[in-house]
Amino acid sequence: MASFLTEHRDELTALATVLAAIVIAKLVDRAIDRHAHRAAERMTRGPLSPSAETRLRLVRRLAFVTILVIGFALAAWQFPSIKRVATGVLASSALLGLVVGFAARQTLANGIAGISLVIAQPIRVGDLVTFEDETGTVEDIRLAYTSIRIGDGRRLVVPNERLASSSIVNHTVVDPRVSVDVDVWLAPDGDADRALEVLSGIDGVSASVAEITADGVRLSLTAWAPDPARRGELAAELRQESLRRLRTDALS
């Protein structure tokens, strides 16, 4: 047993260093998250704001990655052969920097763009945004890419460099409320005036004639959801309530 430990001392030390780095990184990540949420509760007596939550995620990931990189570097330093290679690498660091920079230019660009997005915050976690004709809620902003959940359940994963260099429509950056539009169709000979009167009676709803075609009259109902998460639910409620009121009025 003693001979095994002596022969594989470098490997065991490196493994222990990597495991310790992983454990420390997770503990630090949890500590940062716990401290930030406790601070938010003390100061605002509520959850973190979207901007604070976005910055917190970046800080947690940078801390996690930094600890892991240091741990792996210390583990690799246990091997004499790697030390010699590292010495040669440091002697030619300028050339290495050019090679690595060229090979990883896309990854570096995405990372820098991700940091820029978190600092400038044109979008935040929880915002409703439209990017290249796709509308959804920002789920996460990582160092390399941003995840947007589309209304039909799909997830749009966009490299941060594209987000930073493209136009984005942010529907909730100023006001967290979201406009919800629902269409209601009437028969061509339907009483549009009476329908507008009935539908305008729904609390918080404005109704108007949006279109007249040979197939019928399209009425547009507009209401405001308190946040993007309520958008789909509110639209379904408006359709159901509109149908109920129009049917009740027709029978009266």
Map tokens 């004499």 to a residue.
80
Averaged pLDDT for residues 236-251? 85
Q: What confidence tens digit (pLDDT) does each residue in 192-213 have?
A: 888 888 888 888 888 888 888 8
The CB density around residue 181, as the number of other CB atoms within 10 Å, is: 11
Of the listed ranges 8-22, 58-72, 157-171, 220-234, the least confidently predicted one is 8-22
Cβ pair 161, 106 in contact under 8 A:
yes
Confidence at residue 95, expressed as pLDDT on a 0 to 100 scale: 47
Amino acid at 181: D
From CA 240, how far away is CA 247, in angstroms rounded? 11
From CA 183, how far away is CA 180, in angstroms rounded? 10
Cβ pair 155, 112 in contact under 8 A:
no
Domains within the chain, CATH numbers bracketed? 2-91 (no CATH), 120-170 (2.30.30.60), 178-251 (3.30.70.100)
pLDDT category at 90 given cuts 50, 70, 90 is very low
Query: Is the predicted pLDDT of residue 89 greater than 70, yes or no?
Result: no
Query: Is the predicted pLDDT of residue 85 greater than 80, yes or no?
Result: no
The mean pLDDT of the chain is 79
Confidence at residue 43, expressed as pLDDT on a 0 to 100 scale: 62
Quote the pTM value. Answer: 0.56
- DSSP output for 53-99: HHHHHHHHHHHHHHHHHHHHHHHHTTSHHHHHHHHHHHHTHHHHHHH
H/E segment holding residue 194 = helix 192-199
Q: Could you tell me how many residues make up the chain? A: 252
Confidence at residue 221, expressed as pLDDT on a 0 to 100 scale: 92
pLDDT category at 225 given cuts 50, 70, 90 is confident
Cβ pair 144, 115 in contact under 8 A:
no
SS3 state of residue 208: strand
H/E segment holding residue 222 = strand 216-225
From CA 200, how far away is CA 220, in angstroms rounded? 11
pLDDT category at 245 given cuts 50, 70, 90 is confident
